[in-house]
A and B are shown apart, each in its own frame.
Chain A
Amino acid sequence: MIIQLPSVRIICPGESLNGQTKQIILKDGFIHRIGDPGDVLAEKVDVRLEGENLHLSPGWLDMRTAAREPGYEHQEDLLSVREAAAAGGFTEIAVLPNTHPVVQSKEAVAYLRSRWPDHAVKVHPIAAVSLEAKGKDLTEMIDLHRAGAVAFSDGVQPVWHSDILLKTLQYLQTFGGLLINRPEDKLLTQYGNMHEGVAATMLGLKGMPALAEEMMVARDLRLLEYTGGKIHFSCISTAGAVQLIREAKARGLAVTCDMAAHQIAFEDMALSEFDTNLKVNPPFRGKADIQALWAGLADGTIDAVVSDHSPLDEESKKLEFDLAEFGIIGLETAFAVLNTHNQALSVSQLIEKLSGNPRKILGLPLPSIREGTLANITIFDPEARWTFTGKDIRSKSANTPFIGAGFRGRVIGIVNNGQILLNAASSSKQRR
């Protein structure tokens, strides 16, 4: 199969091709030729992908996906999550350990790595820090690392126990392992259903204060200062947390962080109709928090953007608000949401948050765009206007507030592992 991209802008920060408009020929999953638009690089072409604003970058990596398998296959499995990832432009995903059983043995890591090995989307297991992700007893982290776990985290659970966190930060130094913590003081968010603010007051819902995130970030940073090692905070959502991390980076601490793409799409005020598809943790916060997130993205305090893909069946969502579970599916929409709301970043900066930085944080190699290499790329159009509908969902679950949303920026497809996956709308239009 030969695919021609007659004219595509290459986004590959740090490499010589970055920002250049080129012609690219892909052959059987390899980057076959790179030349100038108008050059004759291939005699016969099976698919030609054309578009005024076509862009291409190293494949995107999502650092925070709940794949649900094993244990919750009715919500998502390791094939459906790959299809959702591909539709959203991700060629690699790091999956959370909060499955049933929890990912805490090398057998579990091996299982995750063994499923669908020929698929275009690669899965990287994140193993639990503590047994059953309960925050009490440590998992066998060296063993898990050797089996292929790319990082350690209790996933949706914060590592709440100070001494366990301290020991983890120390123990991971044995092999330079990474701790990913979701900062939330659970005692301060107990029974909370949304951000604590005037919106929650008006809805009679118990709030989850920004303080709960900020206290945990402050504590973790203090512990990190004491132990050394490195930490990554997941799904930062408050202005205070951004500022704490900014200051810690300035002090030279080995700290990185990400935010969920949907975090900048809604304020807490959007929950006025008790829509459970807006129930998410961390919760949608205030305007000042969203502005601080953009500032953090722009100055590099926030290194990466994640999908925080959390598939939930209808039975978990079509309920009274306080009984519904937290979570939004995010793989299909992450880039479009971020790009649509983008206030601060160039295309190149934005792609760095989805592609280069997640790999740096996880210590994974950045795919290069060079003739003769097996392609690991994402093709997208940052200017395309489209409306997200239920038909665009590839996940087994449909818990998203974005159905009917108008987006700017669309993923055309991915190429990885010798496989080509194009989004239906674009391929049917452009296939010859």
Chain B
Amino acid sequence: MSQLSVKHLLGIKNLTAGDIELILQTADTFKEVLNRPIRKVPSLRDITIANVFFENSTRTRLSFELAQKRLSADVINFSSSSSSVKKGETLLDTVNNILAMKVDMIVMRHSSPGSPHFLAKHIRANIVNAGDGTHEHPTQALLDSFSIREKFGGVAGRRVAIIGDILHSRVALSNIFALQKQGAEVMVCGPVTLLPRYIRELGVKVELDVRKALRWCDVANVLRIQLERQQIKYFPSLREYSLYYGISKAMLDELDKEILLMHPGPINRGVELTSDAADSHHSVILNQVENGVAVRMAVLFLLAQTG
């Protein structure tokens, strides 16, 4: 298999296990490219890509832009901190205006769940979902799987605990889909108010005690508290959250086992992770960032093949 089953990367839910394997294998190649003296290939020389970001982002936008440049694509960037409809222009009009300038591919981040799916119904360019509200963040899940695979040699059979604000996390949902498709066991952990009520029906374990979750897992993927996505109060204070759900290096050391500590960033140091945990030998947080470029190169490259 050398081609994806989809024309867009809207979410992990729409991918097959074969698609995921193909992306990760392709990313292996690109990771090798990134470590060469000349870190650039001409693969997307005729392709123009627009990064359309309706939500603030630093790392994801930079990572995509770098991936595009390493593939020799032409890149334009559009960012707006609010959704365009508030300015009186619809999302579809904004994107169609960009496409009128002969753009082949759209990488979009947007606060509305399903916005890339909506776009896919109305435009012909390839779409990469760079995060749609509280729904999916597929490239993050792919780079997380890539990082687990890199450390453990594979994802199948591994136990991954996703810890924190599951309710508002697109990273959690994409990771659940990606890990399950690759045969991993998944647990979510957090205060009940931050766990979706029907999450068990997705086939994940649910744990309220972070220490028990850490004892169970091989990989702890710790999420940020998404205060900006919480429209109402879900817990009393960050102080209390960090006291009962924050992870320190001591907690990881006392487990006396190999455990991977992951975080999609940006870290709120002192809230979900103490600094000594984030900077410890357990942590692969910066490897994740590095792998992000290779994985995004793979996604862009493979989608460009689908036309």
Contacts and interface: CB of A to CB of B under 8 A. Distances in A.
Contacts of A276: 118
Interface stretch (A19-27, A254-262, A318-326, A398-406): A318-326
A201 B117 contact: no
Given A274-B113, A320-B83, A321-B113, A204 B90 contact: no
B112 A320 contact: yes
Given A196-B198, A201-B199, A201-B202, A273 B117 contact: yes
Interface in A157-209: 190-191, 196-198, 200-207, 209
Interface in B231-284: 231-232
Contact of B173 (A190, A197, A204, A322): A204
A322 B112 contact: yes
Given A273-B117, A323-B85, A204 B135 contact: yes
B170 to A, nearest CB: 6
B201 A198 contact: yes
B202 A320 contact: no
Interface in A343-394: none
Interface in B92-126: 92, 110, 112-115, 117-118, 121
Contacts of B212: none
A204 B136 CA distance: 7
Contacts of A196: 197-198
B133 A322 contact: yes
Given A190-B232, A320-B83, A203 B198 contact: no
Contacts of A198: 198, 201-202
Nearest to B113: A204
A205 B197 CA distance: 12
Given A191-B231, A319-B90, A205 B113 contact: yes
Given A191-B231, A203-B114, A197 B198 contact: yes
A318 B93 CA distance: 11
Interface residues of B, number: 29
Contacts of B90: 315, 318-319
Given A198-B198, A319-B90, A203 B113 contact: yes
B134 interface: yes
A190 B113 contact: no
B19 interface: no
Contacts of A200: 196, 198
B83 A203 contact: no
Interface in A230-260: none
Interface string A66-101: 000000000000000000000000000000000000
Contacts, number: 75
A207 B92 CA distance: 26
Given A320-B91, A322-B112, A204 B134 contact: yes
Contact of A201 (B91, B92, B198, B231): B198
Interface string B54-98: 000000000000000000000000000001010000111000000
Given A196-B198, A320-B115, A204 B85 contact: no
A207 to B, nearest CB: 8
Nearest to B135: A204
Interface residues of A, number: 24
Interface string B10-22: 0001000000000
B132 interface: yes
Interface in A297-332: 315, 318-323
A201 B135 contact: no
Counting chain B CB atoms within 10 Å of each CB, the highest count among A318, A320, A322 belongs to A320
A201 B168 CA distance: 10
Contacts of B135: 203-205
Contacts of A323: 83, 85, 112
Nearest to B115: A320
A287 to B, nearest CB: 14
Contacts of B134: 204-206
A214 to B, nearest CB: 15
Interface in B182-223: 196-199, 201-202
Given A318-B92, A319-B90, A321-B114, A202 B197 contact: no
A206 B234 CA distance: 14
Interface in B147-203: 170, 173, 196-199, 201-202
A206 B196 CA distance: 9
B201 A204 contact: no
A293 B129 CA distance: 38
B78 to A, nearest CB: 17
Contacts of A204: 113-114, 132-136, 170, 173
A190 B13 contact: no
Nearest to A206: B134
Contact of B196 (A201, A274, A318, A319): A201
Contacts of B110: 320
A418 B56 CA distance: 63
B216 to A, nearest CB: 22
Contacts of B121: 273
B118 A202 contact: no
Contacts of A191: 231-232
The 5 closest A-B pairs by CB, nearest first: A204-B135, A274-B114, A320-B112, A198-B201, A204-B134
8 contacts: A191-B231, A201-B196, A201-B201, A204-B113, A204-B132, A204-B134, A273-B121, A321-B114
Interface of B: 13, 83, 85, 90-92, 110, 112-115, 117-118, 121, 132-136, 170, 173, 196-199, 201-202, 231-232
Given A201-B199, A320-B115, 4 more contacts: A191-B232, A202-B202, A204-B134, A320-B85
